[in-house]
Amino acid sequence: MSEQSTQPTSRFLPTDDPKLSLLIRPGGHEKPLQFQESVNLGRPIIAREIEPWTDAGAHELLSDIMAAHEAGDITTIARYKGKNPRRWLASIYPFAMEPRFVGLFFPDGTLLGWVSFTTSPYLPGKAVLGMVIRPPYQNAGLGTAALLHAKKYLRDIMRDASITDIFFETQEDNARVLAIAKKMKVQNTGRRIDQIKGDIAMLAFTNKPGAEA
């Protein structure tokens, strides 16, 4: 499949900040969603949709995915080494899954982490969520806040009213995700062994009504 024909078209926000202009996708939400409550980073956090289908955007996301893979927190079949970032990103997030990404930024454009949303015909009405918070910003409540705000991002940034629930999976040994799931009282909906990823046990969760911000 040609990359040219399948990439969504986009343009960048008119901004003087080079970091923001590289990543932020226009449209969606006009006023950036800000939150500070329960996040112990001392500065406001702005959530904006990321443009992933540029070399720069795909590289940022893949660098985080490969770092989390190397740390043993997630497993990916991708072996990105700095070349063909859009192709590697599409191997993880096929276009048919309608991947969308929300970046969490400091107001100066520093990318702190991001949340991915994909859809699946097997999970109607649900968005499948993935998330990476960059190591310097972990354990400050950002992952919890992002999960709490996930439905708001879908509604207000992506204007997607068809999604009523969030679904996510994590490795059974991912202590931080399990700590967040416990805190948020999300429902455990099952356990499976992922043989493609090497017999890794995965736990699945869905948010209960009322768990959103």
Ligand X SMILES: CC(C)(COP(=O)(O)OP(=O)(O)OC[C@H]1O[C@@H](n2cnc3c(N)ncnc32)[C@H](O)[C@@H]1OP(=O)(O)O)[C@@H](O)C(=O)NCCC(=O)NCCS
73 binds ligand X (CB under 6 A): yes
Alpha helices (H) in 13-124, listed in sequence order: 18-23, 55-70, 85-92
Q: Name which position in 20, 168, 205, 207 contacts ligand X (CB under 6 A).
A: 168
Contact 95, 6 (CB under 8 A): yes
Closest residue to ligand X using C-beta atoms: 143
Contact 29, 49 (CB under 8 A): yes
Residue 132 CA to residue 114 CA, distance in Å, equals: 6
- Using CB under 6 A, which residues numbered 144 to 163 contact ligand X? 144
Selection from 202, 174, 198 nearest residue 68 by Cα: 174
Which positions ≥6 away from 55 have C-beta within 8 Å? Answer: 85, 86
Task: Provide the minimum distance between the beta carbon of 194 and ligand X in the complex, in angstroms, as a whole number.
Answer: 12
Question: Which range of residues in 16-24, 54-62, 118-126, 141-149 is near ligand X by CB under 6 A?
Answer: 141-149
183 binds ligand X (CB under 6 A): yes
Q: Name which position in 141, 149, 163, 207 contacts ligand X (CB under 6 A).
A: 141
Extract long-range pairs of 174-177: CB within 8 Å, 24+ residues apart: 174/73, 174/74, 176/73, 176/138, 176/139, 176/143, 177/143
Task: Provide the minimum distance between the beta carbon of 34 and ligand X in the complex, in angstroms, as a whole number.
Answer: 17
74 binds ligand X (CB under 6 A): yes
Q: Name which position in 104, 128, 133, 157 contacts ligand X (CB under 6 A).
A: 133
Q: Name which position in 15, 36, 120, 139 contacts ligand X (CB under 6 A).
A: 139
Using DSSP, state whether 182 is helix, strand or coil. helix
62 binds ligand X (CB under 6 A): no
Q: Is the Cβ of residue 54 or residue 144 nearer to ligand X in the bound state?
A: 144
Which residues, listed in sequence order, are joined to residue 24 by a DSSP beta bridge? 50
Positions in the binding site for ligand X (CB under 6 A): 68, 73-74, 130-133, 138-144, 168, 170, 174-177, 179-180, 183
